[in-house]
Amino acid sequence: MSLLTYILGLPLLGALLIGLAPRNYRFVIRLTALAASLSSLIAAAVLFGQFDPQIAGYQFVDKIPWVKSLGIYYFVGVDGINVGLILMGALVSFAAVCVSHDLKDQDKEFYFLLLLMSGGILGALASLDLFMLYFFHELALVPTFVMIGKWGWGERKNYATFQITLYLSLGALIALIGLILLYLESGARTFDLVELTRHLQSKPLSAAAQHLIFPLLLLGFGILVSLWPFHSWAPLGYSSAPAATAMMHAGVIKKFGLYALLRVALPLLPEAARSWTETIAVLCLGNLLFCGWVAMRQRDLNLLIGYSSVAHMGFCFLGLASLNLLGLTGCVLVMVAHGLLAAATFALSAHLRRETGTLEMPALGGLWRRLPFIGAALTMAMFAGCGLPGFGNFAGELLVMFGAWKGLPLVVVLCAWAALVVGAIYMLRAVRAVLHGPLPERWAGVRDAEGWWRKLPVTLLLGGLLAIGFHPALITSRLEPAVRNLVVSAGYESPAKTTPRAAAPPAKSARKAKAKQP
């Protein structure tokens, strides 16, 4: 088995062990959850370090027949597109387990569902088989509904549970119809994504078939990503969810729809993708402008973070609409950076709610005096949400706007205004309302994050954002070969346009060999 199987298998193994453990063994259950998520994170970090950025194809591949007659395999692998997403997913999973220390009861069920969610989404991001890709996503999605309904908070949590269940079930069903049609129309009789891509490159689908399937995939996966105007489930769902659930869904699971469009729709349905670029660009403006304006009106911190999360997805869709190397690279970079940002902000808001019992911003204020670490971390997270240089979001958004400028200049101008002005207004207002001003007497006893263990998850998430912001090549150097292969093979750009002006430096082994020559 490759390292990739251990990354997605360890959380699932942890969930199995927790399911078998006696309910009163609370310490053992928590230790198992931490060990499973930490082991998965370490394995993901090792895989990221061992990944060869010079190779455009898949690495760390495992392929095992499951239903061979239907062409269904357990088939996983990584290339530049998903290697960063898998590391981000494993990090968010570990952070989500760490912040769940305040559970009063039913630890067993909570950690079982949380690890099931983690293993499912990591499996979906690693799968190269369409059936398994969809199956793993559903494995991650179902616990979301249960956890909001059982451990959620707020007067509208039941409404939020029903709404998110209906929206995401509908989106998943529409996407499933599109995937089944793709399987039938292709004639390849396989769910193997590599084989299917090879088959459709030699025998492309007809224009009619592409124009039928692509809108289904865009609508289905778009609902899962909260594409405007199908976004209303996300802010209320996240504001009602327990912190770990909001971190996992907003940070990782929501990226699945974008990943599936990148992995399936763009390379396999290029003619239809070109015809939908302007529509996608208009819809992404809905995410950035409409959701940004709504975020400006929020009084609840979690609702503000939820609308901000939806707004950031607009940059990802703009990157998809660019259909070029720069834009798609920026899209994936925004996905990774936003996953870390969303997880960090929901973890910080959970601490504020735990200490104060409310997230109504007018009732807060002056908390930085009592919460120096949480205050500094929340300010950094809000600055990252504004697209401040030095954080990963800035690098990704800049690449997206450069990539989309040639074909969609007006959209880029409006997106830049939404990010720099609208985003800054609601983020900085939140910082002022929560952390600055006079400290109400009733918050005089609130406590900061105590001990390194409580600070570790937020530190790791913000550290990842800074690492990507100061050195984007950590991600982009691994992304470039795979994205270049996608845009060239699908015919979006010619090979000459995607070839770097300067030759890439030789691999370490080649440099060493050259150095030894006389």
The DSSP annotation for 458-508 comes to HHHHHHHHHHHHH-THHHHHHHHHHHHHHHHHTTSS-HHHHS-SSPPPPPH
The DSSP element (H or E) to which 499 belongs, if any, is: none
Query: Quick check: is 461 in a domain?
Result: yes
Query: Quick check: is 229 in a domain?
Result: no
Query: Quick check: is 165 in a domain?
Result: no
Report the chain's mean pLDDT, rounded to a whole number: 85
The residue among 83, 39, 43 whose CA lies nearest residue 59 is 83
* Residue 471, token pair as written in the block: 């050195």
On the CB side of 148, CA atoms within 13 Å amount to 28
d(CA 112, CA 193): 30
Residue-level pLDDT at 156: 81
Query: Quick check: is 399 in a domain?
Result: yes
- Count the domains in the chain: 1
Query: Quick check: is 246 in a domain?
Result: no
Query: Quick check: is 189 in a domain?
Result: no
CA 471 to chain centre: 20
The DSSP element (H or E) to which 63 belongs, if any, is: strand 59-67
The DSSP element (H or E) to which 241 belongs, if any, is: none
* Residue 198, token pair as written in the block: 């090879």
d(CA 385, CA 423): 7
Say which residues have a Cβ less than 8 Å from residue 38's Cβ, sequence separation at least 6.
Answer: 94
Say which residues have a Cβ less than 8 Å from residue 456's Cβ, sequence separation at least 6.
Answer: 98
Q: Is 271 exposed, middle or buried (0-12, 13-18, 19+ CB in 10 A)?
A: middle
Q: Which domain holds residue 380?
A: 276-492
The pLDDT tens digits for 145-195 are 888 888 888 778 788 888 888 888 899 899 999 999 998 888 778 888 888
Task: Return the amino acid letter for 188.
Answer: A
The 10 Å Cβ neighbour count of residue 418 is: 22
d(CA 40, CA 26): 21
Which residues, given as ranges, of the chain have pLDDT below 50? 500-518
Residue-level pLDDT at 509: 38
d(CA 267, CA 285): 24
Residues forming a β-bridge with 64: 74
On whether the CB atoms of residues 246 and 252 are closer than 8 A, the answer is no
CA 148 to chain centre: 19
Say which residues have a Cβ less than 8 Å from residue 376's Cβ, sequence separation at least 6.
Answer: 368
Residue-level pLDDT at 499: 54
The residue among 294, 284, 152, 274 whose CA lies nearest residue 225 is 284
Query: Quick check: is 312 in a domain?
Result: yes
> What percent helix, strand, coil does the chain show, rounded to 5?
75, 5, 20
d(CA 267, CA 484): 11
Cis peptide before 22 (omega within 30 of 0): no
d(CA 4, CA 122): 9
